[in-house]
């Protein structure tokens, strides 16, 4: 059994889920902080 | 901990810390992954599939460590009523659930060529799956409690009760000797893995831990900003 497709699949899962978590956290933080800033300016 | 009870003081530390954790975490994780894929030899038994170790072990550690963080936040909330404890618990849960999912998926992918099966109802695998479902329950409970305007005490109690699963996961390989191998790396007792294979693991462990920390800080900052907006809207409506 060729092991490389399994290694590639494991790394794809780990990297894509980690990047997804970081992107979701970053976008939600930026939009929440932007909303708070715009409300303070008003 | 109590020095950070003031959200403004917390944010002064969290803003630069988020950037540093992200930058150093990304650098270390990429370095460890590159080294693990190209610079280490294949294992004499598992062959090339041993390389999955460099993402599987950090995700298992962070999946369990995340719940330890929830338990610590729960104690801090129930005992000292720390104002950021509920926010911290809610911020840790999605990150912990993500890494528990990575652990389960990479473990399953590792299991197919190594054990000949994608899944087995083995003690370690089952208790890790329970941890993942506990995370989903915590996310649902904490967000429902927040929407109702609660202080997060029910979620905190749930977080403490769920911590019972952590020693079960840890000792499962000793209590039920089924498919999952026993403990091969210990903080105090060394490792049964050869150093030629082991050395990139601390890089990915620290790198992914820093990324986990960055995700938690970003979620905490988002929650604090949302709370600020809600408070201002209430004041404007009153």
B90 lies within 8 A of chain A by CB:
no
What local confidence, expressed as pLDDT, does residue B226 receive? 92
CA distance B106 to chain A (A): 5
Q: Phi and psi dihedrals of B185, rounded to 5?
A: -130, 130
Q: Is residue B133 part of a domain?
A: yes
Mutate to test the interface with B, among A27, A32, A38 (most CBs of B within 10 A): A32
Q: Is residue B189 part of a domain?
A: no
Q: Is residue B18 part of a domain?
A: no
Instruction: Test A14 with B102 for CB contact under 8 angstroms.
Output: yes
Q: Is residue B174 part of a domain?
A: yes
Q: Is residue B233 part of a domain?
A: yes
Looking at the structure of chain B, the number of domains it has is 1
Q: Is residue B91 part of a domain?
A: yes
Tracing tokens 């460890």 back to the chain, one arrives at: B32
Mutate to test the interface with B, among A2, A5, A6, A20 (most CBs of B within 10 A): A6
CA distances from B20 to A31, B15, B16, B26 (A): 21, 9, 6, 10
pLDDT digits (tens, 9 = 90+) for A1-42: 899 999 999 999 999 999 999 999 999 999 999 999 888 777
What local confidence, expressed as pLDDT, does residue B193 receive? 81
What local confidence, expressed as pLDDT, does residue A20 receive? 98
Instruction: Test A10 with B110 for CB contact under 8 angstroms.
Output: yes
Chain A and chain B share a number of CB contacts under 8 A equal to 99
ipTM of the complex: 0.94
- Is B48 within 8 Å of A3 (Cβ atoms)? yes
What local confidence, expressed as pLDDT, does residue B6 receive? 79
- Is B28 within 8 Å of B175 (Cβ atoms)? no
What local confidence, expressed as pLDDT, does residue B30 receive? 97
Q: CA neighbours within 13 Å on the CB side: how many for B173?
A: 10
pLDDT < 50 positions in chain B: none
Of B47, B211, B223, the CB nearest to A3: B47
- Is B114 within 8 Å of B179 (Cβ atoms)? no
What local confidence, expressed as pLDDT, does residue B189 receive? 63
Give the gyration radius of chain A's Cα atoms: 18
What local confidence, expressed as pLDDT, does residue B61 receive? 96
Instruction: Test B109 with A10 for CB contact under 8 angstroms.
Output: yes
pLDDT digits (tens, 9 = 90+) for B198-208: 999 999 999 99
Boundaries of domain holding B143 = 52-180+198-237
Distance CA B166, CA B162 (A): 8
What local confidence, expressed as pLDDT, does residue B63 receive? 98
Q: Which residue of A has its CA nearest to B228?
A: A36
Identify the CA nearest to B170 among candidates B209, B124, B201. B124
Q: What is the 3-state secondary structure (H, E, C) of B176-194?
A: CCCCCCCCCEECCCEECCC
What local confidence, expressed as pLDDT, does residue B137 receive? 97
Q: Is residue B12 part of a domain?
A: no
Mutate to test the interface with B, among A25, A40, A41 (most CBs of B within 10 A): A25
- Is B70 within 8 Å of B93 (Cβ atoms)? yes
Q: Is residue B17 part of a domain?
A: no
CA distance A24 to chain B (A): 9
What local confidence, expressed as pLDDT, does residue B7 receive? 81
């Amino acid at each position: 059994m060729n092991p490389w497709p399994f290694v590639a699949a494991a790394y794809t899962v780990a990297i894509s889920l980690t990047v997804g978590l970081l992107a979701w956290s970053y976008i939600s933080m930026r939009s929440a902080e932007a909303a708070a800033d715009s409300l303070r300016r008003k | 901990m109590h020095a950070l009870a003031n959200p403004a003081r917390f944010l002064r530390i969290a803003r630069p810390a988020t950037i540093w954790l992200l930058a150093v975490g990304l650098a270390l994780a990429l370095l460890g992954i590159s080294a693990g894929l190209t610079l280490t030899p294949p294992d004499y038994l598992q062959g090339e599939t041993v390389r999955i170790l460099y993402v599987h072990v950090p995700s298992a550690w962070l999946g369990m460590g995340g719940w330890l963080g929830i338990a610590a936040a729960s104690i801090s909330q129930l005992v000292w009523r720390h104002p950021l404890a509920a926010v911290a618990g809610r911020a840790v849960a999605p990150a912990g659930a993500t890494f528990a999912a990575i652990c389960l998926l990479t473990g399953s992918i590792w299991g197919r060529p190594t054990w000949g099966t994608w899944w087995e109802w083995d003690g370690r695998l089952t208790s890790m799956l329970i941890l993942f479902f506990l995370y989903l329950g915590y996310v649902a409970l904490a967000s429902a409690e927040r929407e109702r305007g609660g202080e997060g005490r029910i979620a905190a109690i749930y977080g403490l009760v769920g911590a019972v699963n952590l020693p079960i996961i840890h000792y499962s390989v000793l209590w039920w000797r089924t498919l999952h191998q026993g403990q091969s790396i210990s903080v105090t007792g060394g490792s049964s893995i050869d150093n030629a294979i082991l050395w990139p693991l601390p890089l990915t462990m620290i790198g992914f831990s820093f990324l986990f920390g960055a995700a938690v800080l970003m979620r905490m900052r988002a929650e604090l900003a949302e709370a600020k907006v809600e408070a201002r809207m209430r004041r404007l409506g009153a």
